[in-house]
Each structure stands twice: as C-alpha cells, then as structure tokens.
C-alpha cells in the first residue's frame, strides 16, 4: 500500500491540552491490557498450581507472598477496580449521559479515587 | 445507509458491518467480568485461609467451579476483544497486524482451554 503513508494525518495526542477524561481513557486501556497480559497469566498459574498438587501450589504461594508477588497482586487488584470503575463510567457514557463538562470532569477524577479506596479496603481485609 | 468512500466502493469495500457486534459483545462480557470478578475477589477475601487444602476444597464445589469456569470464558473473551482494539490502533503494517491477530486468537483460545481444563480437573477431584 505505497500511497497510504503519504495521506494527511489528523492531529494526534501532542496538540491537545491534557484533561481528566483523556487521562481516564488511557488509564482504562492500560489497566485493561495489564489485566489481560499479567492478570490472566497469574490466574492460569494459580489454577494450574492447584491442579498440580501441594508442591506446585507451595511454589506459587512462595512467589505470591514474597514482596514482588505482593506488588503484582496488589497491582492487579488496583487494575481490576480501576478498570471496573472506568468501565462503569463507560456504561453511563454509552447511554448518552455524563457528557456535560462539569460532571464529565468530576467522574473522571473520582473514578480512580474510588478504585484506590476499594483496593485499600480489599487488602486491609485480607491482611487483617 | 451510505456505500462507503468512493475508493472503498471501487475496491468493493464498504463498512465491515460487524463493528456493532464487537462493541456489544465487549459490553456483554464486561457485565460478566463485573459480576464474576467481584465474586472472585469477595470469595478470596472471605476464605478463612489460603493453604492448599482450603482453597482446593472451596474451588472443587459446584458453584465456585461453575463461576470460575464462566469467569475464564468471560475474561478471555473480553481480553481477546480488548487486545484486538489495541492491535488495530497501534499495529498498522498489514503483515504484522495479521501475525498479531493470529497470535492473539491462538493465545486466547489456548489460555481459556487450559483454564477450563484445570477447573474441570479440580471439580472432578483429579490428583
């Protein structure tokens, strides 16, 4: 497709001033793909280790309870809640609501905050 | 209904007519993930312990095994659709895009199959 590369390009990321909706949009993509690539891998490892027997499960929990394992698991919990909250925001936007500047900015800012609160609450309960 | 751009008409390419389907399934599987993902987190948080015996006994039960299998299907389906959009947005070269899509489809089916097979083995009590 030789001609395609010379087509005019529409203005991209660099010309826009960053706003909350843009940040939450890219955060939705980052957390979603993080969950897909890392989260599903950990899920399969966990399920496979449970099938594999006590030795395999012990190997999983050794890594999962080490500091780096905790970082990954807490990170995945945060990614899940973050993706969940921004996903729920998408459902609201899908029905055509929440596009007014004030409410759009408000929910864009509040969404990641709710995700952090839910993550902290979850791990506070687990480590209690 | 339009017929696409003039160059698209010449090439016999109009709308793919499948965009809405992708969009809808992304939402259906999102609802599945919302319910089942919250179920998994609440279940894990309320488990008394995370030792082998407790977790294995819990997941072998009928409802947890069924919910876990549904979560694997819903999550892998949702992830496959999401990563497809990522590839379409960032990989523009045709051969590379085809290779990425092939790898994505094979990985998504392989991962889901391994997950489901593991859950069946746990539920049926294989050692």
- Residue A18 belongs to what H/E stretch? none
The structural domains of chain A, with segments of one domain joined by +, span: 20-126
As a whole number, the mean pLDDT across chain B is 91
Query: How confident is the model over B95-104, as pLDDT tens digits?
Result: 999 999 999 9
Nearest chain B CA: its distance from A55 CA (Å): 9
The structural domains of chain B, with segments of one domain joined by +, span: 20-123
The set of residues, in sequence order, having a beta carbon less than 8 Å from that of A45 and lying 6+ positions away, is A60
Q: Which residues of chain A have pLDDT under 70?
A: 1-5, 13
Closest CA to B27 of B71, B72, B70, B82: B82
What is the distance between the alpha carbons of residues B78 and B80, in angstroms, rounded to a whole number? 5
Q: Does ipTM top 0.90?
A: no
Q: Are B68 and B59 in contact (CB under 8 A)?
A: yes
Q: Check B118 against A48: CB less than 8 A apart.
A: yes
Q: Which of residues 37-76 of A touch B (CB under 8 A)?
A: 40, 43-44, 47-48, 50-51, 53-54, 57-58, 61
Exposure string over B83-119, b if 16+ CB within 10 A, otherwise e: bbeebeeeeeeeeeeeebbeebeebbeebbeebbebb
Q: Are A38 and A72 in contact (CB under 8 A)?
A: yes
* CATH architecture classification, B20-123: Up-down Bundle (1.20)
Q: Which residues of A touch B88 (CB under 8 A)?
A: none
Q: Number of C-alpha atoms within 13 angstroms, CB side, residue A72?
A: 17
Q: How many residues does chain B have?
A: 127
Q: Give the angle B25-A72-B63 at the CA atoms, nearest 5°.
A: 50
Q: Check A40 against B94: CB less than 8 A apart.
A: no
Q: Check B118 against A35: CB less than 8 A apart.
A: no
Instruction: Quote the distance between the C-alpha of residue A36 and its chain's center.
Output: 9
Query: How confident is the model over B23-32, as pLDDT tens digits?
Result: 999 999 999 9
Mean local confidence (pLDDT), B79-85:
97
Tell me which fold the domain A20-126 belongs to: 3 helical TM bundles of succinate and fumarate reductases (1.20.1300)
* B1 confidence band (pLDDT: 50, 70, 90): very low
Pick among B7, B31, B45, B76 to test the A interface (most A CBs inside 10 A) = B45
Nearest chain B CA: its distance from A17 CA (Å): 21
């Amino acid at each position: 497709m030789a001609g395609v590369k010379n087509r005019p390009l529409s203005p991209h990321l660099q010309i826009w001033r960053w706003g909350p909706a843009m940040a939450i949009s890219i955060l939705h993509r980052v957390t979603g793909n993080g969950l897909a690539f890392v989260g599903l891998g950990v899920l399969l490892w966990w399920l496979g280790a449970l099938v594999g027997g006590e030795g395999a499960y012990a190997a999983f929990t050794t890594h999962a309870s080490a500091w780096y394992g905790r970082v990954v698991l807490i990170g995945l919990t945060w990614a899940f809640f973050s993706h969940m909250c921004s996903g729920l925001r998408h459902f609201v936007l899908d029905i055509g609501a929440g596009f007014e500047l004030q409410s759009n900015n408000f929910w864009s800012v509040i969404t990641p905050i709710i995700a952090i609160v839910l993550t902290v609450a979850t791990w506070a309960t687990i480590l209690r | 209904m339009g017929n696409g751009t003039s160059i698209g008409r010449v090439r016999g390419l109009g709308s793919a007519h499948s965009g809405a389907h992708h969009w809808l399934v992304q939402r259906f599987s999102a609802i599945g993930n919302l319910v089942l993902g919250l179920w998994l987190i609440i279940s894990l948080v309320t488990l008394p312990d995370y030792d082998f015996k407790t977790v294995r006994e819990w997941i072998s039960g009928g409802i947890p095994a069924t919910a876990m299998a549904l979560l694997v299907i819903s999550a892998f389906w949702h992830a496959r659709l999401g990563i497809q959009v990522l590839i379409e947005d960032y990989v523009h070269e045709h051969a590379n895009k085809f290779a990425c899509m092939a790898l994505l489809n094979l990985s998504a089916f392989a991962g889901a199959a391994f997950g489901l097979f593991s859950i069946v083995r746990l539920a049926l009590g294989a050692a």
